[in-house]
Amino acid sequence: MTSALPSVLDLAPVVPVVVIEDAADAVPLARALVAGGLPAIEVTLRTRAALDAVRAIAAEVPDAVVGAGTVISPAGVADAVGAGARFLVSPGWTESLLDAMRSSGVPFLPGVSTTSEVVALLERGVREMKFFPAEAAGGVPYLKSLSGPLPQARFCPTGGISPGSAPTYLSLPNVGCVGGTWMLPADALAARDWARVESLAREAAQLRGR
């Protein structure tokens, strides 16, 4: 990832993976996460409100590093960057998607779940990746196995990770951060309980395995 922005993997131990249904919630939610110590925020492009949410966070929460997740097409890359996304995350990758992310001018984490996908990205000069779906794809043992033959690859595992398992992932030499949703419980979001989100974010920000 080549950009003036420091590696997304090094901003915080946890990247919140956010699904926003109402763009009006974006700014207070982002402020709560940043206040709790989680500045890198991945807004998934799964809802109609997602791009407006990215736009609002980029404009109104200067301490947040807002990114777009579930980017699955070159058009999605263009839309996300146009809305102000400062990094991109995909669940997987194709040649056209990788080319679009590489040309976007912002850092990106293409998704992988197999050794061959990791090798293919390394061959293309990409060393930082999302490992997804982490638990279903082999979890900690799988990533530990990759660290020997492919030490140059670094990962943000996402998918099924909990506050209990996160420290074990973070203790691996090839893991820079993890993605998760546990600091965003549905009942807290429904109640717009931003104080609870901030508290859970603060706990997540202290999860370090080394």
Beta strands in 3-110 (DSSP E): 14-18, 40-44, 65-69, 88-89, 108-109
> Which structure tokens are listed for 49?
């409100």
Q: Which of 95, 123, 130, 144 is catalytic?
A: 130
144 is annotated as an active-site residue: no
Catalytic residue list contains 42 = yes
Whole-angstrom distance, CA of residue 131 vs CA of residue 86: 20
* Contact assessment for residue 127 and residue 108, using Cβ atoms and an 8 Å cutoff: no
CA 160 – CA 181 distance, rounded (Å): 9
Q: Which of 21, 42, 95, 144 is catalytic?
A: 42
Q: Residue 196: which residues within 8 A CB-CB, separation 6 or more?
A: 185, 188
Which sequence positions are flagged as catalytic? 42, 130
